[in-house]
């Protein structure tokens, strides 16, 4: 029932209802609060409406209505972002894509699949099981995160060392532009004339529009793999081993490190049989042809021993391999045993600078009296220091913030970046002007305006000055505790 | 054509700044000028801006497996520097003695090994460029994993200097492979090749390249690579890289997997000849004085029938079987009208499947009468917006992009 | 006007919070909420989220809602209630959670509190169906058997088909109709168990057998099979006749006092015997029995002696498959040529983390092959009495499960839970694909006896 006194929120809801029906809408305050944050809980803001389109045509309608009423909108998948990528800054509409989750086509002959954005990463893997092919990017959150979200953040994972990140596996994208037009970039043909807009769309954190279809590359399964666990007396020995392995011309499929703090927590939780006095462990997986992985494994074992490994274990069966991976993937879950709250950072440094950044982490930890444990993608130089604290103590929170900033600034100084896989979102926005020059940001700003002229699509994300629709960026005041993907 | 070759990024930036404030001349950025003929009927008046003097190694932490160099570095020099550390950039670049890395990126050059090794999209992790107004900007960094900001590196790949001039490049590199070995598979028909491609999908081996030729191309390839193999039937080539042990095992496996009545013979090309052969295939797009050279982009499953059609028109064509890319030279003895109609037929063939056919090189009157970039895509309008926002006056490489 | 009027600012406003009543969930240990770091990894493990895509119907969302109620940020409105009621309590989220959140220890006490509030405010819940069927009939195998006798007679006389054909079931109230449609092929009641059954061969253990209520009424042959399999494996089997219902139906619908009563009764029945283990063959009851010690923690006024007893009882409870694999099963010899899929009952795989044992047992049977089942760990929609209280979602999940089953093209379905059997059988029958559904011990028993599978029931 429309009337002259209808508020804009009422009008929005009424018009949305015409598009998606009552079942596709949330607007009651007690249902909206669930959508006030994602995996990053430091900043919160409740959207005015959450809407669940089932078709691309509905998304076009929804975006047009948002434009009509000049309301900001933000797409959301599973809400596992660790950087506030789906935070509805300034309120507005949240377009949730979880009801668009079909695999539209799997084409083995041409090695691609077409999927909808709400498809959960692991569901694609499951659908491909047994075919000899897989979708390579495997973020640790793959059991929940959506491919649309992976496209938005250019997600990585433990196997990116050898196989690359999301952008290396996306062939094409269909999206609804911020003006409500249906656009198509790339497709199953590998090369098309003109700019690689598909490549730039990946990692644009939802600021270029709403992805509705993705063409992904299917990758041949490795024929064989070897999974090793090397135990070291010190973190230094472990990092030197990483350099030695890479220096020997071996590119493992995955190379992950865990330090003493994590080992102790894991041991308490799962009883893997780790020596509690070990300084660090490396989880190393090499894959390839059966004839070559054995040699790689032998070389890696030798390099580990030469660099002071106390012991190198090798998974003899698939079950043992799964167990080793379980200990890596469950690492964050075990943190709860060490501390009531924690927050993790996502810095990157050149691989050879790992010893330096680890020293910096130790120093920061001591200077600020904050305990830090480490578990990270060592092969990529992608660190995830976990800062332990009690969120009920505001003084500790301040120290955690200070230590985090110190570590990330050091990453920049060492030639690295403040985010390897989580994205800028709202969390890291203040670092952008340290990472980039004014010119860089201006160019990025121009591109954003070209793609998103009104700024109403995902306002206040990624760029410090972006978004006409959005409100002022919320000041970071609280590190929160996060699980890591 | 005037030409300016600055010795530093700074000088280059000054040149562009002065130009944008001054005479606002159109500028055509070049590297080794190896792809000039691929760039369509365009700028004859634009000033050439060459980066070839900006060719220093800026940083090469070999153990990080990344390298940062000036964009004007010759790709052969880059290979040599990397080889000293037993590393490589596994992208096949034609005319590598002259081509610059910046130019190769701007033209998104690739060769046979893109099947197993990927393209610049998989290797360019950081860059510095200068825009039309002389402002330096950069993106990415020197770390292999980085998701901060828009990935302008991707935007620059294949942009042909139309958005900015690359001055500094950071690449991810790989350990150099010990050996390369090609396997020459003489087939009954293109249908057999299609079938073998299907078999290769579940092969236990991991080829780095899979190629096929029409008979006309085959004769050229055999002569150019100085090898002696049967050319009377359609040929499929499979390349492997790795240790001797890996090659031995894979070739043995391949022989057993491809046991099929349509296969006439399977022969190993040999170490040295395989390298020559890879070189020949990499250089193939440069057809010299052929009337027209095209690149057709399609789904891999369409390649065999496309090659069959090419054969019927006596086109010398090489296909990247796993990538769906066919590069062909038109015969020069059929006259322009016939050449045009063949090109139109080929275009229709690729467009029907959502693909595209672009001209890499063409003589007049083909050059001015046919669409250089193939069928217009909806996304070209987005490209145009991007171009206008980064180079509003259209100073850089005018006419060098599909959407203009 | 097609559309209902849009909400006005009035309807959007929170009603004032009534402080006279204690806050629902207020007694839950708050640190259990804090364990959730909001990472969202649980979402896609949750069947109701998979179906609806709404995070209000996900574990993370429900925890957020419960916490917001406890924090008095929101009122426990019918809308919130609806999201919480839709939870199957399948515990799939606990398996997925990397932070070890004990979701069951949040939702269950929260539900108990909700029921208490409803009772205090006179809000009608459950109604006649809950009081007569769920609480009055189900927990008592004898009563239930009598109630089901006419149905079994009709089945024997094939009258049920005639009744279906003329559409008579449509005249039944919805819940009763669902109950009718859920009925499996009812088995003739097995012989009354003696107190003790002797071990075959060398005696390796003395175990108690928990026979359950619905299970004993509807699947009494599976109980007989379980006893025989245990005997076959050298176990002396004790079946105390003072045992009762596990209490899950009561506890999960908020009736905590009767639940605790059943727990006490069962602990006494089994602890008075000298047993190495207490064996259960129904996943849902097993999960409940293994959580008796939480009852003591959560139900106010439970005395220390009861708490100790319940803990002692809990420590001995094992699922049949878990127990046999630990004991080392004797090799079954009889061939059963069957291509089957195994559905992981939630209360086995998530609540008890038992996955490999049933599969390993089945792999011992000559001739039996297990085809992988997609989403084998996603709830089939049975979830205790859920299919009676949330029929729409139960149907959606049932259809989802059966679709996956039929894709695998099996000859039979195997699952270790009575509720799942009922649900899957009913949906399959509805679809006109009446595949048999077995319990692993049904098949194991046939193989030990070298009997054909037709003999299993």
The average confidence (pLDDT) of chain A is: 90
The phi and psi torsions of A110 (rounded to 5 degrees) equal: -100, 10
* CATH number of residue C218's parent domain: 1.20.1050
- CB–CB contact A446 B390 (8 Å): yes
Q: Which residues of chain C have a pLDDT value below 50?
A: 1-17
State how far residue A109 is from chain B, nearest Cα, in angstroms.
6
User: Both C149 and C97 in a single domain?
Assistant: no
A197 and A150 in a common domain: yes
Q: What is the mean pLDDT of residues A55-69?
A: 97
pLDDT at residue A484 greater than cutoff 80: no
- Whether the CB of C173 is below 8 Å from some CB of chain A: the reply is no
Q: Which of C3, C7, C65 sits opposite A34 (nearest CB)?
A: C65
Which residues of chain A lie closer than 8 angstroms to B204, CB-CB? 223, 289
Q: Residue A41 domain-assigned?
A: yes
CATH 3.30.200.20 fits B3-175, yes or no: no
Mean pLDDT of A21-29: 96
Q: Assess whether A298 and A373 both reside in one domain.
A: no
Chain C interface, mutation test: which of A7, A28, A96, A331, most C Cβ atoms within 10 Å? A28
For A129, the closest chain C residue by CA position comes to C374
pLDDT digit string (tens) for A113-131? 999 999 999 999 999 999 9
**Topology adopted by domain B292-369:** Alpha-Beta Plaits (3.30.70)
Same domain, A250 and A216: no
Q: Does A454 fall in a domain?
A: no
| Domain region containing C410 | 331-456
pLDDT for the residue numbered C336? 95
Q: What is the pTM of this model?
A: 0.91
Domain-terminating residue out of A267, A298, A331: A331
The interface residues of chain B toward chain A in range 294-353, judged by CB-CB distance below 8 A, are 295, 297-301, 322-325, 353
Predicted confidence at residue A480, as pLDDT, reads 44
Based on the domain organization, do A348 and A287 belong to the same domain?
Answer: no
Task: Note whether B179-283 and B292-369 share their fold.
Answer: yes
Quick check: do B and A touch, 3+ CB pairs under 8 A?
A: yes
Whether C12 is in a domain gets the answer: no
Q: Which residue of A has its CA nearest to B381?
A: A183
- Residue of A28, A38, A335 with shortest CB distance to C12: A28
Among all residues of chain A, which has the CA nearest to that of B204? A223
Is residue A432 within 8 angstroms of chain B, CB to CB? yes
pLDDT at B32 (0 to 100): 82
Selecting from A27, A41, A144 the residue whose C-beta is nearest the C-beta of C44 gives A144
Answer yes or no: is A363 within a domain. yes
* Chain C environment of A41 (Cβ under 8 Å): 37-38
* Chain B contact probe: residue of A110, A190, A296 with most B CBs at under 10 A: A190
Least confident of A46-60, A204-218, A383-397, A455-469: A455-469
CA distance A32 to chain B (A): 30
Closest CA to B239 of B260, B266, B209: B209
The answer on C244 and C206 residing in a single domain is yes
Q: Which domain holds residue A33?
A: 8-96
Q: Do C1 and A31 touch (CB under 8 A)?
A: no
- C187: closest CA among C154, C217, C150? C217
User: Shortest CB distance from B143 goes to which of A246, A350, A444?
Assistant: A350
Which candidate from C6, C40, C374 shows the least CB-CB separation from A10? Answer: C6
Contact B62 A450 (CB under 8 A): no
- Provide the chain C residues 17-46 that lie in CB contact (below 8 A) with chain A: 31, 34-35, 37-45
Distances from the Cα of A159 to the Cαs of A42, A128, A329, B126, C98, in angstroms?
29, 18, 13, 21, 20
Specify whether C117 is located in the same domain as C134: no
CA distance A453 to chain B (A): 11
Interface of A with B in 230-289 (CB under 8 A): 243, 246-247, 249-251, 288-289
Please indicate if any CB of chain B lies within 8 Å of the CB of A225.
Answer: no
Instruction: Measure in Å the smallest separation between the Cα of A404 and chain B Cα atoms.
Output: 17
A54, A78, A96: which is the final residue of a domain? A96
Say yes or no: C316 and C231 in one domain: yes
Q: List CB contacts (< 8 A) between A482 and chain C.
A: 37-39
Whether chain B has a CB inside 8 Å of the CB on A462: the answer is yes
Instruction: Please determine, for residue A482, whether its predicted confidence score (pLDDT) is greater than 50.
Output: no
Pairwise CB contact (< 8 Å): A200 & B152: yes
Give the tens place of pLDDT for each residue, A123-160. Answer: 999 999 999 999 999 988 899 999 999 999 999 888 88
**Per the domain annotation, does C207 fall within a domain?**
yes
Question: Is the pLDDT score of A341 beyond 90?
Answer: no
Q: What's the pLDDT score for residue C7?
A: 41
Which chains neighbour C (Cβ–Cβ under 8 Å, 3 or more pairs)?
A
Q: Considering only residues A263 and B73, tell me which one the structure prediction assigns the higher pLDDT.
A: B73
Disruptive mutation site among C13, C54, C68, C95 for chain A (greatest number of A CBs within 10 Å): C54
Asked whether residue C103 falls in the same domain as residue C134, the answer is no
What does the pLDDT read at residue B73? 97
C4 contacts in chain A (CB < 8 Å): 22
Mutate to test the interface with B, among A105, A195, A199 (most CBs of B within 10 A): A195
A332·C98 Cβ contact <8 A: yes
CB contact (8 A) between residue A141 and residue C97: no
A89 to chain C, minimum CA–CA distance in Å? 19
Contacts 24+ apart (CB under 8 A), C117-123: C117/C21, C117/C22, C117/C24, C117/C76, C118/C254, C120/C21, C121/C21
Claim to verify: residue A120 and residue A191 sit in the same structural domain = yes
Report chain C residues whose CB lies below 8 A from the CB of A3.
none
Least CB-CB distance to C1: which of A1, A39, A341? A1
> Cβ–Cβ of A39/C39 closer than 8 Å?
yes
Task: Determine the pLDDT at residue A4.
Answer: 52
Is A412 in CB contact (< 8 Å) with chain B?
no
HEC string of chain C? CCCCCCCCHHHHCCCCCCCCCCCCCCCCCHHHHHCCCCCCCCHHHCHHHHHHCCHHHCHHHHHHHHHHHHCCCCCCCHHHHHHHHCCCCCCHHHHHCCCCCCCHHHHHHHHHHHHHHHHHHCCCCCHHHHHHHHHHHCCCHHHHHHHHHHHHHHHHCCHHHHHHHCCHHHHCCHHHHHHHHHCCCCCCCCCCCCCEECCCCCCCEEEEEECCCHHHHHCHHHHHHHHHHHHHCCEEEECCCCCCCCCHHHHHCCCHHHHHHHHHHHHHHHHCCCCCEEEECCHHHHHHHCCHHHHHHHCCCCCHHHHHHHHHHHHHEEEHHHHHHHHCCCCCCCCCCEEEEEECCHHHHCCCCCCHHHHHHHHCCCCEEECCCCCCCCCCCCCCCHHHHCHHHHHHHHHHHHHHHHHCCCCEEEECCHHHHHHHHHHHHHCCCCCCEECHHHHHHHHHHCCCHHHHC
| Closest Cα in chain A, distance from residue B28 (Å) | 17
Domain end call among A278, A297, A331: A331
Mutation target vs A (from B145, B152, B325; most A CBs, 10 A cutoff):
B145
- Mean pLDDT computed over A194-205: 96
What CATH number should be reported for the domain holding residue C384?
Answer: 3.40.50.11810
Q: Structural domain tally of chain C? A: 4
In CATH, what number does B179-283 get? 3.30.70.2190
The residue among C106, C121, C136 that closes a domain is: C121
Q: Clarify whether residues C205 and C318 are in a common domain.
A: yes
C-beta of residue A109 within 8 angstroms of C-beta of residue A65: no
Distance in Å, alpha carbon of A292 to nearest chain C alpha carbon: 31
CB contact under 8 A, C74 and A98: no
Residue of A nearest to C14 (CA): A29
Touching check for A217 and chain B: CB below 8 Å? no
Nearest chain A residue to B117 by CA: give it: A163
A to B CB pairs, distance under 8 Å:
252
Q: Do B382 and A185 touch (CB under 8 A)?
A: yes
Of the candidates B152, B169, B148, B131, the one whose C-alpha atom is nearest the C-alpha of residue A433 is B148
Domain boundaries, chain B: 3-175, 179-283, 292-369
Give the count of domains, chain A: 4
pLDDT for the residue C146: 61
Give the chain C residue whose CA is nearest to the CA of A122.
C44
**B neighbours by CB contacts (3+ pairs under 8 Å):** A
Nearest to B324 among A190, A349, A451 (CB): A190
pLDDT of residue A2: 42
Closest CB to C39: pick one of A6, A99, A485: A485
Task: Mark the ranges of chain B whose per-residue pLDDT is less than 70.
Answer: 1, 36-44
């Amino acid at each position: 029932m429309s009337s002259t006194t209808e508020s804009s929120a009422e009008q929005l809801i009424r018009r949305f209802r015409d598009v998606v029906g009552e079942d596709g809408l949330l607007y009651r305050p007690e249902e909206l609060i669930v959508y006030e944050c994602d995996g990053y809980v430091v900043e919160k803001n409740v959207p005015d409406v959450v809407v669940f389109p089932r078709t691309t045509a509905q998304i076009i309608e929804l975006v047009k209505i948002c434009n009509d009423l000049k309301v900001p909108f933000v797409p959301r998948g599973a809400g596992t972002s660790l950087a506030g990528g789906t935070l509805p800054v300034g309120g507005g509409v949240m377009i949730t894509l979880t009801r668009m989750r079909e695999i539209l086509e799997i084409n083995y002959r041409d090695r691609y699949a077409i999927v909808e954005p709400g498809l959960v990463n692991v569901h694609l893997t499951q659908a491909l099981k047994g075919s000899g092919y897989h979708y390579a990017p495997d973020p640790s959150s793959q059991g929940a995160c959506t491919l649309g979200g992976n496209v938005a953040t250019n997600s990585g994972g433990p196997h990116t060392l050898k196989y690359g990140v999301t952008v290396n596996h996306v062939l094409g994208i269909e999206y609804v532009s911020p003006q409500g037009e249906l656009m198509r970039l790339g497709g199953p043909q590998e090369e098309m004339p003109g700019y690689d807009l598909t490549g730039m769309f990946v990692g644009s954190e939802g600021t270029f529009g709403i992805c509705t279809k993705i063409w992904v590359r299917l990758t041949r399964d490795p024929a064989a793999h070897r999974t090793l666990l090397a135990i070291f007396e010190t973190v230094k020995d472990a990092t030197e081993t990483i350099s030695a392995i890479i220096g020997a011309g071996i590119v493992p499929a995955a190379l992950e490190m865990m330090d003493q703090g994590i080992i102790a927590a894991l041991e308490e939780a799962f009883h893997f049989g780790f020596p509690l006095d070990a300084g660090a462990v490396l989880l190393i997986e090499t894959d390839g042809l059966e004839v070559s992985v054995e040699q790689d494994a032998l070389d890696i074992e030798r390099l580990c021993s030469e660099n002071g490994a106390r012991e190198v274990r090798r998974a003899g069966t698939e079950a043992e391999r799964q167990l080793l991976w379980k200990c890596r993937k469950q690492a964050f879950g075990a943190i709860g045993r060490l501390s009531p709250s924690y927050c993790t950072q996502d810095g990157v440094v050149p691989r050879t600078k790992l010893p330096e950044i680890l020293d910096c982490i130790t120093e920061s930890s001591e200077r600020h009296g904050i305990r830090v444990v480490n578990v990270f993608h060592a092969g990529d130089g992608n660190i995830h220091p976990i800062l332990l604290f009690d969120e009920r103590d505001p003084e500790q929170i301040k120290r955690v913030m200070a230590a985090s900033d110190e570590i990330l600034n050091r990453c920049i100084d060492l030639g690295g970046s403040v985010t390897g896989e989580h994205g800028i979102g709202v969390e890291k926005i203040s670092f952008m002007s340290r990472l980039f020059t004014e010119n860089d940001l201006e160019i990025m700003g121009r591109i954003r305006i070209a793609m998103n002229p009104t700024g109403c699509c995902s306002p206040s994300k990624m760029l410090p000055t972006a978004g006409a629709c959005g409100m002022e960026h919320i000041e970071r005041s609280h590190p929160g505790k996060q699980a890591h993907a | 054509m005037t030409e300016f070759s600055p010795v530093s990024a700074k000088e280059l930036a000054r040149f562009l700044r002065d130009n944008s404030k001054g005479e606002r001349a159109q500028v055509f950025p070049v590297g080794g000028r190896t792809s000039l003929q691929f760039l369509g009927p365009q700028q004859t008046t634009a000033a050439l801006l060459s980066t070839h003097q900006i060719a220093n190694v800026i940083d090469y932490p070999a153990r990080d497996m990344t390298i940062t160099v000036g964009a004007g570095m010759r790709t052969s020099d880059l290979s040599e520097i990397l080889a000293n550390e037993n590393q490589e950039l596994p992208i096949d670049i034609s005319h590598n003695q002259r081509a610059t890395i910046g130019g190769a990126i701007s033209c998104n050059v690739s060769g046979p090994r893109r099947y197993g090794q990927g393209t610049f999209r998989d290797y360019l992790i950081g860059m510095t460029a200068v825009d039309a107004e002389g402002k330096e900007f950069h993106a990415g960094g020197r770390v292999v994993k980085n998701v901060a900001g828009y990935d302008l590196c991707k935007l620059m790949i294949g942009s042909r200097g139309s958005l900015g001039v690359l001055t500094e490049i950071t690449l991810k590199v790989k350990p150099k492979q010990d050996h390369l070995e090609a396997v020459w598979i003489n087939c009954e028909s293109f249908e057999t090749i299609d079938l073998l491609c299907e078999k290769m999908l579940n092969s236990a081996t991991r080829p780095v390249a899979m190629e096929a030729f029409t008979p006309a191309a085959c004769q050229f390839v055999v002569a150019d690579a100085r090898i002696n193999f049967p050319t009377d039937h359609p040929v499929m080539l499979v390349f492997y890289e790795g240790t001797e042990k890996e090659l031995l095992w894979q070739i043995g496996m391949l022989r057993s997997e491809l046991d099929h009545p349509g296969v006439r013979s399977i022969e190993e090309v040999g170490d040295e000849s395989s390298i020559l052969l890879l070189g020949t295939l990499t250089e193939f797009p440069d057809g010299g004085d052929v009337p027209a050279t095209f690149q057709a982009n399609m789904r891999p499953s369409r390649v065999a029938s496309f090659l069959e059609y090419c054969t019927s028109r006596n086109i010398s064509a090489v296909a990247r079987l796993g990538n769906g890319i066919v590069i062909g030279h038109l015969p020069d003895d059929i006259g322009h009208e016939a050449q045009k109609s063949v090109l139109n037929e080929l275009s229709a063939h690729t467009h029907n499947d959502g693909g595209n056919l672009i001209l890499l090189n063409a003589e007049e009157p083909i050059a001015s009468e046919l669409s250089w970039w193939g069928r217009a895509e909806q996304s070209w309008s987005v490209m145009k917006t991007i171009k206008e926002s980064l180079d509003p006056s259209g100073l850089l490489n005018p006419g060098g992009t599909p959407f203009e | 006007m097609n559309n209902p009027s849009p909400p006005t600012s009035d309807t959007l406003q929170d009603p004032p919070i009534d402080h006279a009543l204690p806050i629902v969930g207020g007694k839950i240990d708050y640190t259990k909420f804090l364990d959730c770091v909001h990472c969202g990894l649980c979402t896609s493990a949750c069947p109701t989220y998979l179906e609806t895509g709404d995070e209000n119907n996900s574990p993370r969302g429900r925890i957020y809602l419960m916490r917001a109620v406890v924090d008095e940020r929101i009122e426990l409105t019918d809308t919130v209630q609806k999201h919480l009621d839709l939870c199957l309590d399948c515990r799939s989220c606990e398996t997925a959670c990397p932070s070890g959140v004990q979701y069951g220890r949040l939702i269950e006490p929260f539900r108990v509190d909700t029921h208490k509030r409803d009772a205090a405010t006179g809000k009608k819940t459950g109604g006649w169906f809950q009081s007569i069927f769920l609480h009055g009939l189900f927990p008592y195998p004898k009563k239930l058997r009598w109630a089901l006798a006419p149905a079994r007679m009709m089945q024997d006389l094939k009258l049920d088909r005639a009744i279906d054909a003329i559409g008579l079931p449509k005249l039944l109230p919805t819940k009763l109709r669902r109950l009718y449609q859920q009925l499996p092929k009812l088995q003739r009641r097995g012989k009354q168990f003696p107190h003790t059954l002797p071990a075959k061969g060398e005696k390796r253990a003395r175990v108690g057998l928990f026979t359950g209520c619905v299970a004993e009424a509807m699947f009494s042959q599976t109980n007989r099979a379980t006893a025989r399999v245990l005997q076959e494996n050298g176990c002396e089997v004790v079946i105390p006749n003072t045992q009762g219902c596990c209490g899950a139906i009561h506890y999960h619908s908020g009736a905590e006092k009767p639940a605790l009563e059943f727990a006490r009764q069962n602990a006494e029945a089994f602890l008075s015997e000298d047993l190495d283990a207490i064996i259960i063959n129904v996943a849902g009851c097993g999960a409940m029995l293994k959580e008796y010690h939480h009852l003591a923690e959560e139900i106010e006024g439970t005395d220390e002696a009861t708490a100790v007893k319940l803990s002692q009882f809990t420590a001995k409870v094992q699922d049949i498959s878990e127990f046999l694999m630990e004991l080392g099963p004797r090799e079954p010899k009889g061939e059963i040529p069957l291509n089957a899929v195994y559905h992981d009952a939630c209360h086995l795989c998530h609540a008890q983390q038992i996955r490999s044992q049933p599969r390993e047992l089945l792999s011992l049977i000559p001739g039996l092959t297990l085809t992988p089942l997609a989403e084998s760990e996603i709830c089939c929609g049975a979830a205790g009495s859920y299919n009676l209280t949330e029929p729409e979602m139960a149907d959606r999940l049932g259809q989802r499960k059966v679709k996956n089953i039929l894709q695998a093209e099996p000859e039979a379905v195997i699952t270790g839970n009575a509720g799942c059997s009922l649900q899957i059988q009913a949906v399959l029958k509805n679809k006109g694909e009446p595949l048999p559904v077995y319990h692993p011990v049904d098949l194991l028993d046939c193989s030990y006896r070298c009997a054909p599978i037709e003999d299993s029931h």
